[in-house]
A and B are shown apart, each in its own frame.
Chain A
Amino acid sequence: MTTSWAMKRGVGVTSILFWIVLALLPLIGFVSESSSFDYYMFMGQSMLIYAIAVLGLNLLIGFNGQISLGHSAFFALGAYTAAILMNFGGWPYWATLPIAAVVCFAAGLLFGFPALKLEGHYLALATFTLAIAVPQLLKYKAIAGWTGGVGGVLLDKPDPPEWTRLSPDQWLYYVCLAAAILLFWVVFNLLRSRNGRALMAVRDHSMAASTMGIDLARYKTIAFGISAGITGVAGGLSAITVAYVAPDSFTLQLSISFLVGLVVGGIASLPGCLVGGVFIVLVQNSAQSISDWMKATFALRYDVPAWAIYGVLLLLLMYFLPAGIAGGFAQARTWWTMRGRRGRQQ
């Protein structure tokens, strides 16, 4: 895995420019006449939210080598924490996010303890079970007073501050963007620190890492906690932007979408998380048109569901581009520079 950027100092100019462009996008709304602009903003929010969730998952799978299929559970926990605090506690929406992070961090630590003893397939199995159990748990009658049971919790979409003169969706886009920038920056710095190198050492060769004095148990549980915390923030943001939480939005399929985002964007790649987030939302939104196109092109009798497309894509990526789209770019660039260098030597 190429993680040479981990050795670089400081944040690159490209990435700063990139985030600035993302921050300028909502301003198009002031000149655009398009009636669906608010919808595009909503899509942008979802992309950023998925990117954050994939970031959390990538920290665990990509950088620490622990497989989780249960991150929909932490996403759900974050969403419900935010929703309950806003609905019953009357908290302002922004204040719920740190709480969601802390709650999910704690839950992640707790789950991380048993996960310590499990490796590879077994960890995948335990987290798979978690993902399947969560929707039923959320519907449980004894806590329905808080969670709203099957019906879920309906929230108000927060209003933007008066002085910004933004529409609610533009404002929420900025909220998501701020959270994304903060979390990407935190993870970026974490990974380049001593602790980050320890995380990757645990992934690459746990036995060698432990002979070097790295406390495997500590690093694995903490990685699980941080990963869950980040995904929890994404969950909280989704509760705020969708203004609704319900148990059936947090099924195994949500975990699978994170996994799709992770694999498409690139395992152990930070820019890849954004690619993954964008990809998930684009496929979900254009599932119908993709299906229509395939029906017309291949003369199919049936609709082609998005999950079939996801599945085939996952298989193809595992065969041909195991490093994902971002990883593919990195490989191509390495190949290109090496080619140039070889040319000069001759």
Chain B
Amino acid sequence: MEFFLQQFAAGLTSGAIYACVALGLVMIYVSTDHINFAQGEMAMFATYLAWAMIDAGLPYWVAFGLTVLVAFAGGFAIQRVILKPLERAPVLALVVSFIALLSIFNAVAGMIWSYTIKQFPSPFPSRDLFGNGLVSVQQLGVVGVTLVMLGLLTAFFRFTTLGLAMRAAAQNADSARLMGVRVSWMLALGWGLAAAIGAIAGMLVAPIVFLDPNMMTGILVYGFAGALVGGIGNPMGAVAGGFIVGVLENLVGSYVIGNELKLTFALIIVIGVLLLKPAGLFGRVIVKRV
């Protein structure tokens, strides 16, 4: 039983990280209808920036805040400079561009910081919370940061005019444009938010898996799985989906298939959800009018 609880808690921790990645994917999906394959590498790159700042002597939380800001600006710039000209391009061109971004970020990170793994500090102590080996402060911190972020985002979308404008732009671009919303800038804002959320996910995961240019590849796949389970158009759902996938992954990994097939498990989740319930658990079913 204790082993089960431990695995469950560990699952919640990794679930929190998947939830962050999934949230970033959903940000871009709701505002542009695209699935951003570079989300993981963008997060990885931002984490390296944070590492460099801490390495240069900045305190952790200052580096954290700066990285989130820089990531936001970076995501914003990517949408404005690189993706704006492709707004009306066919799906293939977009997928190719995302893959191009993925390669560029990965290669540039490797080029500047090399492929050797680095240690990334955690702001939370790794000691036990109750002294019974179940939950560590570190785990609680990761889950807490995710939940706080979700709360802030929900508040932003629900209670601010800008959030309302973003939702309008995503739901019905033409009507929003007629109401005076600058839709194209809202998309850029979506990209900025996604990059910032990704940066947080990267900084949360780096102390656990160590920092290297390929650290997000597997996590991105789980992020996809989480976003799909929760419904890729629904931020709350994505967070729930991330937690569900994290817990399932840990339990299935420790009881059924072992650690070696965890990515295959993610593949099965992705294909299974896409086939059986493409809208996810909490998503809206979209009916295509013919």
Contact = CB atoms under 8 A, between A and B. Distances in A.
B100 A67 contact: no
A302 B91 CA distance: 34
A117 B264 contact: no
B105 to A, nearest CB: 8
A114 to B, nearest CB: 5
Contacts, number: 130
A122 B273 CA distance: 11
B97 A318 contact: yes
A117 B278 contact: yes
B104 A318 contact: no
A102 to B, nearest CB: 23
A312 B100 contact: yes
Contacts of A118: 274
Contact of A126 (B82, B106, B270): B270
Interface string A116-143: 0110111011101110110011011100
A256 B103 CA distance: 9
B117 interface: no
B153 interface: no
Contact of A136 (B37, B91, B261): B261
B96 A133 contact: no
B148 interface: no
Contacts of B264: 133, 136-137
A270 B247 CA distance: 47
Interface stretch (B43-51, B158-166, B217-225, B233-241): B217-225
B111 A314 contact: no
B252 interface: no
B95 interface: yes
Indicate the size class of the contact surface on chain A: 35 or more
B104 A114 contact: no
B107 A314 contact: no
A117 B275 contact: yes
B266 interface: yes
A23 interface: no
A308 B108 contact: yes
A207 interface: yes
B91 A120 contact: yes
A233 interface: no
B69 interface: no
B74 interface: no
A307 B270 CA distance: 27
A130 B92 CA distance: 18
Contacts of B94: 121
B271 A308 contact: no
B290 interface: yes
B267 interface: yes
Interface string A197-212: 0000000000100000
Q: Point out which of B82, B92, B104 has the most chain A C-beta atoms below 10 A from its C-beta.
A: B92
Interface in A267-308: 267, 302-308
B2 interface: no
Contacts of A322: 89, 93
Given A126-B271, A314-B99, A139 B104 contact: no
Contacts of A124: 35, 37, 91, 95
Given A132-B218, A136-B260, A137-B264, A311 B100 contact: yes
B77 to A, nearest CB: 14
A310 B104 CA distance: 8
B111 A114 contact: no
Contacts of B275: 114, 117
A263 B103 contact: no
A322 B110 CA distance: 29
A259 interface: yes
A325 interface: no
A318 B93 contact: yes
Interface in A27-55: none
A120 B94 CA distance: 10
Contacts of A259: 96, 99
B261 A140 contact: yes
A69 B220 CA distance: 15
A110 B92 CA distance: 23
B17 interface: no
B107 A121 contact: no
A163 interface: no
B92 A308 contact: no
Of all A-B residue pairs in the complex, the 9 with the closest CB atoms, nearest first, are: A311-B104, A314-B100, A311-B103, A307-B107, A308-B107, A120-B91, A305-B107, A133-B267, A311-B100
Interface of A: 61, 67, 69, 114, 117-118, 120-122, 124-126, 128-130, 132-133, 136-137, 139-141, 207, 252-253, 256, 259, 263, 267, 302-308, 310-315, 318-319, 322
Interface of B: 33-35, 37, 82, 85-86, 89, 91-97, 99-104, 106-108, 110-112, 217-218, 221, 224-225, 228, 260-264, 266-267, 270-271, 274-275, 278, 290
Given A125-B224, A308-B108, A314-B100, 14 more contacts: A67-B91, A69-B95, A114-B274, A114-B275, A120-B95, A125-B274, A129-B225, A129-B266, A133-B221, A136-B261, A136-B264, A139-B260, A305-B110, A318-B93
